[in-house]
Amino acid sequence: MNQSESILDLARRQRLLRAADVRAQGLSPQLLIRLQATGQLQRVARGIYSLPDADFTEHKGLAEVCQRVPKAVICLLSALQFHGIGTQLPHEVWIALPEGTQTPAVDYPPLRVARLRGDAYSSGVVTVMEQGSPIRVYSAAKTITDCFKFRNKIGLDVALEALKDAWRSRKVAMDDVLRFARINRVGRVMQPYLEAVVS
């Protein structure tokens, strides 16, 4: 198998391909451009390639963001949509980055960045493989508490809807919600709402 065939085989397995992925296999990243020029690969975003006939799920944009911004974790409205909680349909991809990280220069899809530090950033991250591409997203319980933490950005009504829907559809356990509420320091804020939902 020559290098071009190896790259195409990798694209079949991984769906989204970066130069770093090709380099890690000991292959030449320059071949990505040649394969695109001959129509064997398509460029889906700057630095990201796929097979022309690759069929993607609804989470293609999230996978692209996670490929292009390695520290990004899908959060808030985008994480609610990913978990099927509430009715929000965000026009941007919401990502969390560690405090002090430079804002990524990604033109598409549009991004909204939330800055978190310490355990608030690193806790509750789940990596889901979507057709060979990793998507780093906060768990449903962590996402609910993030909504209360950022209620001034997204609205208290969105946070309440998410809490009620997640509890009603049994997508969260109260112990997990309480643990992440402590990490996010929103336990007091959430307490009356949690009591109302559980009763």
Lowest mean pLDDT across 26-30, 113-117, 170-174, 180-184 = 26-30
The per-residue pLDDT for 54 is 65
Core vs surface per residue 146-175: b (16+ CB within 10 A) or e: bbbbbbeebeeebbbbbbbbbbeeebbeee
- Residues 77/88, Cβ–Cβ less than 8 Å: yes
> Tens digits of per-residue pLDDT, 56-73?
555 777 888 888 888 999
Say if pTM beats, i.e. exceeds, 0.75: no
Percent of the chain with pLDDT over 90: 50
Give 60-198's CATH code, choosing from 3.30.460, 3.40.50, 3.30.70, 1.10.3470: 3.30.460
Percentage of the chain modeled with pLDDT above 70: 95
- At 135-148, the pLDDT tens digits run 899 999 999 999 99
Mean pLDDT of the residues in the chain: 88
Of 16-25, 84-93, 169-178, which one has max mean pLDDT? Answer: 169-178
